[in-house]
Amino acid sequence: MKISSTPETWKEIKKCDLFEGIGDSEIEALMDAVNGKVQEYSKHSVVALEGEECNRVGIVLRGKVDVRRIHASGKEMTITSLKEGDTFGEVMVFSDHHKYPSTLYTEAGVKIIQIPQKDILILCKTSERFLENLIRLLSNKVWMMNEKLKMLTYQSIKQRIAAYLLEEHWKQESMQIILPHNRQEMADFLGIPRPSLSREMANLKKEGLIDYHKSNITLYSVEALRKINND
């Protein structure tokens, strides 16, 4: 199904990093050359199930999608959340194991476009910039996964939090950082219970190492945070 060429659709698609640096007219020409399935989902709907075959790349055009894992114990954990412009499936669709490793679940009304693998290849052949964007996107996801694995190598909750804050300090180049995750997402990312996260954050504040208000964090001593991870 060809994608409806409406101004609203192009405005939504442009938010995706896959189309960074590509002009409006070129985006229209690219998308007119491929088949795309645009779907709208109501709140609390399943977009894809864990173990389901992945043969398309999805782009969130509107709303928010949670990526969740359900453990054998029945415990459910949110791995990450996808916002407008974020993609999913680009890692699995070219893998030898093209199955969704997690379930995608809508948090609110969501609009998604899904492009078949063969058409993603057409876009790569047609636009060098699209290919560069796709490679960068995949590389960034590998890098983020490595960062998460590095966090999980720390034994204590305090060390994981310190490493997380130091990483954000390095990326944002500031002692005043804005957390990219809310508290539950941060806890899930670090692999710790949310109450434990809140308790250790409060302890770091009492020790005079940080201060915080909602997602805004002030770091008072980078060296002290580094020392936590060296102990």
Structure tokens at 121: 């290849």
pLDDT for 72 equals 65
pLDDT at 4 over 60: no
Smallest CA-to-CA distance from 67 within 185, 146, 149 is with 185
Read off the pLDDT of each residue in 184-193 and give the average, rounded to a whole number: 84
Read off the pLDDT band of 178 (50, 70, 90).
Answer: very high
CATH number of 150-230: 1.10.10.10
| Residue 59 near residue 15, CB atoms below 8 Å | no
Domain 7-142 fold: Jelly Rolls (2.60.120)
Q: Average pLDDT, stretch 178-199?
A: 87
Q: What is the rounded average pLDDT of the residues 116-140?
A: 95
Distance CA 194, CA 198 (A): 6
Choose from 65-79, 119-133, 143-157 the range with maximum mean pLDDT: 119-133
pLDDT: which is higher, 201 or 78: 201
In the chain, domain spans: 7-142, 150-230
Q: Which residue has the higher pLDDT, 6 or 63?
A: 63
DSSP conformation class of 215: T
For the residues 43-63, what does the mean pLDDT come to?
A: 93
pLDDT value at 73 more than 50: yes
pLDDT band at 118 (very low <50, low <70, confident <90, very high): very high
| Helix (H) / strand (E) containing 146 | helix 128-152
Encoding tokens for residue 115?
Answer: 């492009």
Give pLDDT, residue 181: 81
CB 181 within 8 A of CB 167: no
Residue 7 pLDDT grade (very low, low, confident, very high; cuts 50, 70, 90): low
What does the pLDDT average to over 36-54?
A: 92
Dihedral of CA atoms 45, 51, 56, 59 in degrees, nearest 10, equals 40
Question: What confidence tens digit (pLDDT) does each residue in 204-217 have?
Answer: 999 999 999 989 99
> For residue 5, is pLDDT > 70?
no
How high does pLDDT run on average in the chain?
A: 88
Phi, psi of 56 (to 5 degrees): -140, 160
Segment 144-166 shows an average pLDDT of 85
Average pLDDT for 182-196 = 86
Give residue 1's pLDDT.
45
Residue 86: what pLDDT? Answer: 93
